[in-house]
Amino acid sequence: MELEQNQITRWEGYVNWRNKPALRGRHGGMLAASFVLVVEVLENLAFLANASNLVLYMIQYMHMSPSKSANNVTNFMGTAFLLALLGGFLSDAFFTTYQIYLISAVIEFLGLIILTVQARARSLKPRACDPSTPCHEVSGGKAAMLYAGLYLVALGVGGIKGSLPAHGAEQFDEATPSGRKQRSTFFNYFVFCLSCGALIAVTFVVWVEDNKGWEWGFGISTISIVLSIPVFLAGSATYRSKIPSGSPLTTIFKVLVAASLSGCFNRNSSSAVVNMNSSPSNLISGRKQEGKEAGIANKERQAPTNTLKFLNRALEKNPMCSSVECTVEQVEDVKIVLKVLPIFACTIMLNCCLAQLSTFSVEQAATMNTKLGSLKVPPSSLPIFPVIFIMILAPVYDHIIIPFARRVTKTEMGISHLQRIGIGLVLSIVAMAVAAVVEVKRKRVATHSGLLDDATKPLPITFFWIAFQYLFLGSADLFTLAGLLEFFFTEAPSSMRSLATSLSFASLAVGYYLSSAIVSIVNSVTGNTSHRPWLSGANLNHYDLDRFYWLMCVLSALNFLHYLFWAIKYKYRGTGTSTG
């Protein structure tokens, strides 16, 4: 009786910050997630405060060329987001999300300390340029110090991105409708808080860097990440953390190897099913404790599903090697991972558009009239537009759009995860089309005003025209990022949720890398056919940027059709229903 009572009051598979059993009513819930949301504001402020303006720091103070500076920033951002996979992997395999956040925050703090000290000390930077002293690019120990600081920050950011969203999401009871609705609200406000940090970064901190010095900018980032640690620790008594269940990559590798070995020796999936059904106890004996939350008892399966049948070969009763013996649960978990990968791949193109607009759109606006009354807005602060749109749309979406959709569709979600991602992809297509139209207007103004060949003077057109493409861009980002985070967390096996959630940030990273590749390919192809690449030269007015935007619009439309193919086929875990 006492044992049953303990099972009722405990969260099965979860521990508190002291690694003792987490208790219902004491651990988890919206209060615990609220600490995570505040931490996200501080963490994203620390990261983006310098990333948004870093290219100017490398050009002006490290004396790198514009192209090398841009590549370094792209590599830094891409690496930070890719390392989210490492943070997610460690959170699932060996540590709790609670522990990974604290470790990662300390690593990011160390990197920011290095960058702050270098920005402060003149002896740690190249000599300033003057007519009597030629500019020398940073090199040797000074360059090593710069890159050590940057990539320690990237490692810390990756660990945080891979653990913090999952840590917040696992505070909710997915066995109840109210818990699932609260989790959906959490992801909406996670993106909202991410945008709050970005808003402060691209306004206040950029102004400080431009007017007070870069040591102040790095210092603000350092203070921000330091403050995030006690804020995070303040919620320790309320957190519940999933118990690590071993390497998810090992499970994936084992299932794939077992299926391959069985296939090589003509052990087909039908015999695997027969053998399995004849001795189900052998197949479920290796089940782990994860996923035993109340109300989800139906997760235990006696037979594998018919999707991705080739993986059922891994269930051979007498595998050639006992080390690759698999359970039904492991096989089904790997199937889920393989089924979400096409969805992940379809979001890369959208993030490629985000990367293009965050570079070329800023350059477009820099040629326009950026005055707001008597205030001159710096180009590096122009990403404020999508940030503001996200901050406005997130509460509207959660408190108006979703309740209305629930009443209309009479479903718990209102708008499904895949429908939400699809809306984001459509908005990205519209954003690229709007960007092309705005560029046509900008070049027409440049031609009529006689400034087509003079890029030094601002055009007589307000930079608010750029706000239109940012409106759709920010909306697309909200729909897709929040939808992806929730989709991956909800659909992934319990033992792989942190790793799966980090795929959202990995998509951003690949999008950054792909954007650079597309620009290079376009310049190479157009340079051979028209003798003048679309996107090269010192004068943006001579670029065929409108054609490039139309190309991105077409590629995004094709990508959306590709997405529809996979989304329509996808069946949600546990329901067996498609997106409809």
Q: Which residue ranges make up each domain of the chain?
A: 1-244, 248-338, 347-580
Please name the residue that has the structure tokens 């370094």. Answer: 72
Confidence tier at 574 by pLDDT (50, 70, 90): low
Same fold, 1-244 and 347-580: yes
Kindly state the average pLDDT of the residues 388-392: 86
Q: Which residue has the higher pLDDT, 288 or 247?
A: 247
Report the CATH superfamily, name and number, of domain 1-244: MFS general substrate transporter like domains (1.20.1250.20)
d(CA 204, CA 217) in angstroms, rounded, equals: 9
**CB of 482 closer than 8 Å to CB of 188:** yes
Q: In Å, how far from its chain's centre is CA 416?
A: 19
Cβ-based neighbours of 115, under 8 Å, separated by 6 or more:
50, 146, 149, 150, 153, 218
* Alpha-carbon span 324 to 321, nearest angstrom: 6
| Rounded average pLDDT over 275-294 | 41
Give the amino acid at 268.
N
Least confident residue range of 79-83, 240-244, 364-368, 518-522: 364-368
Cβ contacts of residue 509 below 8 Å, gap of 6+? 77, 78, 79, 80, 81, 82, 84
Q: Which of 108-112, 197-201, 295-299, 359-363 has the highest mean pLDDT?
A: 108-112
Phi, psi of 495 (to 5 degrees): -75, -5
3-state secondary structure of 19: coil
Instruction: Please work out, in degrees rounded to the nearest 5, the angle formed at the alpha carbon of residue 348 by the alpha carbons of 389 and 501.
Output: 80
Among 358-362, 368-372, 394-398, the range scoring the smallest mean pLDDT is: 358-362
DSSP state at residue 531: S
pLDDT at 175 (0 to 100): 84
Residue 412 contacts by C-beta under 8 Å, 6 or more apart in sequence? 177, 180, 181, 406
Which CATH class name applies to 347-580?
Answer: mainly alpha
Burial 289-305 (b: 16+ CB within 10 A, else e): ebbbbeeeeebebeebb
Q: Residue 264: how many CB atoms within 10 A of its CB?
A: 10
Q: pTM of the prediction?
A: 0.82
Tally of CA atoms within 13 A in the half-sphere of 48 that contains its CB: 22
Q: List the structure tokens of 83.
A: 């390392």
Q: Angle at CA 46, nearest 5°, toward 50 and 193?
A: 120
Residue 277 · residue 303 · CB < 8 Å:
yes
- The model's pLDDT over 140-158, given as tens digits with 9 standing for 90+, comes to 888 899 999 999 999 999 9
Give Dmax (Cα) for the chain: 87
Position 308: which residue type?
L
